[in-house]
Amino acid sequence: MQRYNKTDQYASRKNVIAALVAGVGIVLLIRLFMLQVIDPSYKAFARSNYLRHITDYPSRGLIYDRHGELLVYNEAHYDLMVIPGQVGDIDTVAFCNMLGIDVSTFESRMLQAARHSRFRASLFEKQISKNTFAAFQEKMFRFPGFFVQPRTMRKYNYPVATHTFGYVGEAGPSVINNDPYYRPGDFIGISGIERSYEEVLRGKKGLRIRTVDVFNRDVGPFYEGRYDTLAVPGQDLYTTLDLQLQLYGEHLMKNKRGSIVAIEPATGEILTLISSPSFDPGLLVGRQRTQNYRMLQNDTLKPLFNRALMAQYPPGSVFKPISFLIALQEGIIQPHTIYQCPGVYQSRGVSIRCRSHPNPVNVSSAIQHSCNTFSSIIFQQTINKPGFSSIQESFSRWRAYVQSFGLGQQLGSDLSYELPGMIATPDYYDRIYGPRGWRSQTIISLGIGQGEMGVTPLQLANMTAAIANRGYYYTPHVVRAIGETGELNNQFALVNDVPIHSMHFETIANAMHAVVNNGTARGSRIPGISMAGKTGTVQNPQGENHSVFIAFAPADDPRIAISVVVENAGYGSEWAAPIASLMIEKYLASEVTRRWLENRVANASF
Annotate 94-148 with DSSP letters as a single string: HHHHHHT--HHHHHHHHHHHHHH-SSS-EEEEEEE-HHHHHHHHHHGGGSTTEEE
Q: Does 4 map to a domain?
A: no
- In this structure, what CATH number is given to the domain that contains residue 95? 3.90.1310.10
213-227, 291-305, 395-409, 534-548: least confidently modelled range? 213-227
Domain holding 349, by residue range, is: 243-295+308-602
Q: Among 560, 600, 558, 555, which Cα is nearest to 579's?
A: 600
Percentage with pLDDT > 70 across the chain = 93
209 and 64 both lie in a single domain: yes
Q: Give the integer Cα–Cα distance in Å for 407 and 319.
A: 11
Per-residue confidence band for 32, with pLDDT thresholds at 50, 70 and 90: low
Q: Are 265 and 558 in contact (CB under 8 A)?
A: yes
For residue 531, give Cα distances in angstroms to 136, 253, 370: 62, 21, 17
167 and 248 both lie in a single domain: no
3-state secondary structure of 592: coil
282 and 207 both lie in a single domain: no
Q: Does 38 map to a domain?
A: no
511 and 554 both lie in a single domain: yes
Q: Does 347 map to a domain?
A: yes
What would you report as the CA-atom Rg of the chain, rounded to the nearest whole angstrom?
35
Q: Does 13 map to a domain?
A: no
350 and 454 both lie in a single domain: yes
pLDDT digits (tens, 9 = 90+) for 410-421: 999 999 999 999
Q: Does 44 map to a domain?
A: no
Give whichever of 40-54, 137-151, 532-546 has the largest mean pLDDT. Answer: 532-546
Give strand ranges (E) for 277-349: 344-347
Instruction: Give the per-residue SS3 of 533-576.
Output: EEEEEECCCCCCCEEEEEEEECCCCCCEEEEEEECCCCCCCCCH
Q: Give the integer Cα–Cα distance in Å for 110 and 122.
A: 9
**pLDDT value, residue 396:** 98
pLDDT digits (tens, 9 = 90+) for 465-485: 999 999 999 999 999 999 877
Mean per-residue pLDDT, 431-456: 96
Given 221, 239, 257, the domain boundary residue is 239
Q: Does 40 map to a domain?
A: no
249 and 385 both lie in a single domain: yes
- pLDDT for 2 beyond 70: no
Q: Which residue has the higher pLDDT, 271 or 120?
A: 271
Look up the pTM and report it. 0.86
Q: Does 7 map to a domain?
A: no
98 and 127 both lie in a single domain: yes
398 and 346 both lie in a single domain: yes
| DSSP-assigned beta bridge partners for residue 353 | 344
Q: Helix (H) and strand (E) counts for the chain?
A: 21, 22
Given 239, 255, 273, the domain boundary residue is 239
227 and 324 both lie in a single domain: no
| DSSP-assigned beta bridge partners for residue 54 | 208
Mean per-residue pLDDT, 352-379: 94
3-state secondary structure of 194: helix
194 and 230 both lie in a single domain: yes
3-state secondary structure of 5: coil
Give strand ranges (E) for 213-328: 218-221, 237-239, 258-264, 269-276
Q: Does 1 map to a domain?
A: no
Q: Among 430, 375, 421, which Cα is nearest to 402's?
A: 421
Q: Give the integer Cα–Cα distance in Å for 512 and 562.
A: 13
pLDDT digits (tens, 9 = 90+) for 56-72: 889 999 999 999 999 99
Backbone angles phi, psi at 43, to 5 degrees: -65, -40
- What residues have CB less than 8 Å from 448, skipping those under 6 apart? 316, 317, 319, 320, 323, 352, 372, 375, 376, 379
Given 208, 239, 270, the domain boundary residue is 239
- pLDDT for 38 beyond 70: no
Beta-strand pair 546-553/495-497: unpaired
**What is the tally of structural domains in the chain?**
2
pLDDT digits (tens, 9 = 90+) for 538-564: 988 788 999 999 999 999 999 999 999
Mean per-residue pLDDT, 98-124: 88
- pLDDT for 151 beyond 50: yes
474 and 536 both lie in a single domain: yes
pLDDT digits (tens, 9 = 90+) for 300-315: 999 999 999 999 999 9
Rounded (10°) angle between helices 595-602 and 576-589: 130
210 and 261 both lie in a single domain: no
- In this structure, what CATH number is given to the domain that contains residue 516? 3.40.710.10
